[in-house]
Amino acid sequence: MAVKIRKKNLYVSGLSAVLCFVLVGCGGNSSNSSNSGQSNNQNTSQTGDGFNWKQDSGQTINLLVEQHPWTTAIKPYISEFENQTGIKVNLEIYPEQQARQKALISLQSHSSDFDVFMSLKSLEGLQYQKAGYYTDLTPFLNNPKLTAPGYNLSDFENGPLAGETINNKLVGLPIIVEGPVIFYRKDLFSKYNIPIPKTISDLTTAAAQIEKDTNGSIYGITLRGLPAAVAYTYGPFFHDMGAHWYNSNGKSDLASPSGVKALQLYADLASQYGPPGVVNYTFTQSSSLFEQGKVGMELDSSNEFSSLTNAQQSRVSNDIGVIPFPAGPGGNHPTELQWGISMNSFSQHKDAAWLFMQWSTSQSMQLKLAMKGIASPRTSSWSDPQFQATLKNDEYKQWADAVTETLKNGDPNVGPPAVNESQVRTIIGNMVDSVILKQSTAEQAAQSADNQIDQVISGQ
């Protein structure tokens, strides 16, 4: 396995240099196993189930991935895949935005310089699927020559698998799931006898009591305010109040009565009990504040658990509790977000790429990753006795319960689904911030956002 980690200051030195490097790394191997139907090595099965993992031995595949907990967790195992298949793996790692930028540039030019890439379907899924950048995986999945008999697609949770399916085409395989949860300070809640929030309105009550009982020395709650990032944590408020992104006519429906109530509630929490400058907050600032012991609750991704419980960086690592996002009048519909890996439709090594995709998302590998803290999209991982044994204390059990609750009830749409999803999410973020900053009423801000989103949708 060859690993290249790109940092921002290196990336800006020239994308062309990166592309050149990757092509050199391919070693001139341009065979297309899908087209040729030939195998470089027809060795017998390596697993005893009759499946020939060596059918594409000698090929090289390139992976474009992000600096992400999944990447860190799976990297040590890639040599096992190389030994099992005889396929060489080149791994290129970039920060999230740079990876997305490189992927888009390469795909727009129909480049085959990577074969498998991480993709966030809730953000770029519609755009990439419409442009033809994803390979439809169903033919690979249904081919017994290419898919091991024990792969078991039905073991994936419905939400993550649905999130990798666009317009009835399976365009990716889920690798990790996450969702917004409430992290809270157990010591504060115990000391001041603060009830654990059970409903969405309880969040306000708890935040107010934290500030009152600590004489304002600790903020009640921190949550996202940066426009591009807000939709992820705003969505649960919106859905739990009973609102929907679109009405029956396909028009943006942020200004529905339930939507306006959700917007007012989110803005009140942020402005009355959040930290100064919350409109610039994303998970980085929120988790840092929580780790310093300066806030009683944090609303953010379940993936922040490992950071908050790290005693080397968190002053409150031993005082953390976790609960699912509480239900509201419209039920319990937390945002459920899955990352997936997809196959470049311009790949020249699709069969080899598929072998890697099914190996890395197999039941056995997902279990190994789950035991390293990767929230698995597979049902079997969560019930496995080995994984259950890793839930060593109440905090870990609470975290696991919160994630499974998200998997059970989650909504995969972070914002109103759109080809230009990032623009739509920014509109939502600006809407929320205008109410937090008291520049608009909730009704005015929501109506303005609806008009903007409808214009974006009509231009698709």
Cα–Cα nearest to 275, from 204, 213, 207, 222: 222
The SS3 call for residue 405 is: helix
Q: What pLDDT is stored for residue 386 in this prediction?
A: 93
Instruction: Please report, for the chain, how many H helices and E strands are present, in that order.
Output: 22, 11
**Cross-strand partners of 299:** 182
Stated as kind and residue range, the H or E segment containing 212 is helix 200-213
| pLDDT for residue 303 | 85
Q: Is the pLDDT of residue 413 over 90?
A: no
**Span 125-142, pLDDT tens digits:** 999 999 999 999 999 999
- C-alpha 376/C-alpha 360 separation (Å) is 12
Give the pLDDT of residue 459.
80
Write out pLDDT tens, residues 340-389.
Answer: 999 999 999 999 999 999 999 999 999 999 988 789 999 999 999 999 99
Of the candidates 206, 287, 247, the one whose C-alpha atom is nearest the C-alpha of residue 446 is 247
pLDDT tens per residue across span 291-316: 999 999 999 999 888 889 889 989 99
pLDDT one-digit tens code per residue, 248-281: 999 999 999 999 999 999 999 999 999 999 999 9
Predicted confidence (pLDDT) at residue 331 exceeds the cutoff of 60:
yes
Note the pLDDT tens digit of each residue in 418-451.
999 999 999 999 999 999 999 999 999 999 999 9
First to last CA, the chain: 41
Is residue 231 pLDDT above 80, yes or no?
A: yes
Q: Average per-residue pLDDT in the chain?
A: 89
Q: What does DSSP say about strands 165-166 and 88-94: parallel, antiparallel, or unpaired?
A: unpaired
